[in-house]
A and B are shown apart, each in its own frame.
Chain A
Amino acid sequence: MSHFHADIRQRAEELVALYPRQRSAMLPLLHLAQEQDGYLSDEGIAEVATLTGTTPAEVRGTASFYDMFHLEPVGKYVVGVCTNIACLLAGGEELLEHASSTLGCAVGATSEDGLFTLEETECLADCNVAPCVQVNHRYVRTTTPETFDTMVQDLREGRLDHDVPSHGTLIRVKRQGGLRVAKSDIAAERAEALAARTARAEAAAAQQESK
């Protein structure tokens, strides 16, 4: 019995098939597991292990390296406020403090209603709109306490549902088309191209010599 819902399971299997080795699908699959559960549940981890040909321990050991993976439940919205150098200069620490009081939770914690988890992030590469704020990894571009509070109100009342989908950085990434070439075909194609190139190089060398 699959823990993943049918559509997630199907996307997971498609992802695994994209890579020469199944373990390569680890990070995208963990994103899918979070998309479904909001965090990496034991069941989600076990399923990723099966799909990648690893053990739950290896999956957990890998996931724990990466900041985006949550090993414990988080709020519906993960709010990240950057305080790295460009944002620091623009008041990132003050905005983080403000966010903490607006959301009613400490940095790294989840609000009591389970709606928000607040994180202090490293640089999110949007430094011309500093301090940078992301919600579920979508740039919301609220740089002042006032716009931040409006954004939070909009989130609460569902006005940002389109701009800020729920968890999962791949939730709107849908691959269409693609190419499944048999390894033998690739090898043959490459050998042919290499032979042609060698022949051209030899011909050029011979021409050089005859001069």
Chain B
Amino acid sequence: MATLDAPRIVSSRRDLADSFTLNRYLETGGYSALRKALSMFPESVASEVDKASLLGRGGAGFPAGRKWSMLRRAPISYLVVNGDESEPATFKDHYLVERDPHQLVEGVIIAAYALQVTQAFIFLRGEFALGLERVQQALNEAYAHGALGSKIFGSEFSLDIVVHPGAGAYICGEETSLLEALEGKRGFPRIKPPFFPAVTGLYGEPTVVNNVETMSNLPWIINNGGEAFAALGVGRSTGTRLFALAGDVKRPGVFELEMVKNTFRDIIFDPALGGGLAEGRTLKAFIPGGVSAPWFGPDQLDTPLGQDEVGALGSMLGSGSIVVMDDASCVVRATWRITKFFSRESCGQCTPCREGSGWIERIMYRLEHGGGRMEDLDLLLDLCDNIAPGLSWPPQQTTICVLGPSIPSSVHSALSMFRDDFVAHVNHGGCPHD
């Protein structure tokens, strides 16, 4: 049975039709956390976030508090919010920016106060036309309400927030690439080190980059205390998290669940959540954390939805998206489409990723559409090994950013789990499902 008694931290207003308006936000406790935060010292606000041990909700799962504290050695210049949500089958930030933009804005103001930053940017992917409108509208209302701008709520703290649209590039979710886009350039990830924008960020100045969902947690944390947040979940995975469930389930959607307390079986099959598969279908495989993550099979269904729990089994919770494939789905076709995605989205800076993704995509294409050869199976693994040597998890890196090492995940998983399906494609001269 799924455990559903945890408080809704970021999706408390999901059933309200006008959840995105200032009036509704104020009626449901909005901006009270900001008032409270402004009555505290900035470092006390930061320390509440430390106590919450809030892990970044973007994909890498890095502790948000540590991102902030690394910066405290030098004054921070900019706060940038990453809303470039583009990991396939991830749609939680889409929900947050459209349905609860004030919660995001309040979180950003609180974070800016804790960091003593006076300029923040909210980077949203350009395809979120409505999201861009809603967030700008929320900012306009916040300025008029005195929650943003000069001397916020009569305090000595001033802040400006600018909404910045992306323009259709998956790679801009990578934080250094996002900063390049924000500087008006091609979204090429920057060479590491320095590993963190905290050292060299926007315009070369110290910058904090946090995800939309991470920011949206802050009002609740300030209102209820970091310890109350840390009391939810287990171990390093504290609080709740938005999980985006997609693919072959009856009820795909975004669900807020307490970390670790539920399993993949719960979210996929519970009638209140995914509702199970279509009649007569059985589970073939699922991807636990975005298409960059290695796949799981029915044997891993009872794995708890926690960062370390999934990590221990050689995959990742990543962006919090779960893709379900039933027994009628063709895994070769699915793998081909995923590699086609990476091939299209590789920025082209590094040879292993740029060339490797294209080669893998073409081989996957001929396996799926006819013309595949038996030796292609080993060739695929060899190519994957050239991109991420050893095919271990977490992967070895031969490229500037982690897009490259994400390419082998699906190919390696599908080949290990369903080699027979690949063989059938070769023997059949194309997809037997067609």
List A residues at the B interface (Cβ < 8 Å): 18-21, 23-28, 30-31, 52, 54, 61-63, 65-69, 83-86, 88-90, 122-128, 130, 134, 136-139, 169-170, 172-181, 186, 189-190, 193-194, 197, 200-201
Contact = CB atoms under 8 A, between A and B. Distances in A.
B133 A173 contact: yes
A181 B150 contact: yes
A137 B129 contact: yes
Contacts of B329: 89
Interface in B156-185: 156, 158-160, 162-170, 181-185
B43 interface: yes
Interface stretch (B241-249, B310-318, B353-361, B378-386): B241-249
B345 interface: yes
Nearest to B254: A128
B167 A170 contact: no
Given A27-B167, A85-B88, A169-B165, A139 B150 contact: no
B388 interface: no
13 contacts: A19-B162, A21-B203, A84-B89, A122-B86, A122-B344, A125-B93, A127-B252, A138-B129, A177-B144, A177-B149, A179-B158, A186-B119, A197-B41
B75 A130 contact: no
A23 B202 CA distance: 12
Nearest to B338: A85
A130 B183 CA distance: 34
A122 B88 contact: yes
A180 B159 CA distance: 10
A49 B82 CA distance: 26
B139 A177 contact: yes
B341 interface: yes
Given A177-B143, A189-B158, A31 B184 contact: no
B118 interface: yes
Nearest to B170: A122
A194 B71 CA distance: 13
A23 B344 contact: no
Interface residues of B, number: 75
B78 to A, nearest CB: 8
Given A27-B181, A122-B86, A179 B168 contact: no
Interface string B138-149: 011001100011
Q: Is the interface of B mostly helix, strand, loop or mixed?
A: mixed
A58 B169 CA distance: 18
A23 B182 CA distance: 9
A26 B184 contact: yes
Nearest to A23: B184
Interface string B76-96: 000000000111111101100
A130 B345 CA distance: 21
Contacts of A178: 143, 149, 160
Contact of B165 (A28, A88, A186): A28
A123 B247 CA distance: 13
Given A27-B166, A125-B91, A137 B150 contact: no
A133 B160 CA distance: 34
Nearest to A48: B184
List 8 tightest A-B contacts by C-beta distance, closest first: A177-B143, A26-B184, A67-B168, A66-B167, A68-B168, A23-B184, A127-B246, A86-B246
B186 A61 contact: yes
Contacts of A169: 126-127, 129, 132, 165
A119 B118 CA distance: 40
A163 to B, nearest CB: 10
A26 B248 CA distance: 40
B44 to A, nearest CB: 10
B252 A130 contact: yes
Contacts of B89: 84-86, 123, 127
Nearest to B325: A89
Contacts of A54: 184
Contacts of A127: 89-91, 244, 246-247, 252, 321
A165 B247 CA distance: 30
A105 B125 CA distance: 27
A118 to B, nearest CB: 16
B170 A85 contact: no
B401 interface: no
Contacts of B133: 172-173
B292 to A, nearest CB: 12
A179 B148 CA distance: 9
A94 to B, nearest CB: 11
A67 B159 CA distance: 32
Contacts of B216: none
Interface string B388-400: 0000000000000
Nearest to A175: B136
B334 interface: yes
A39 to B, nearest CB: 13
Count chain A CB atoms within 10 A of each CB in B126, B253, B338 and give the residue with the most: B126
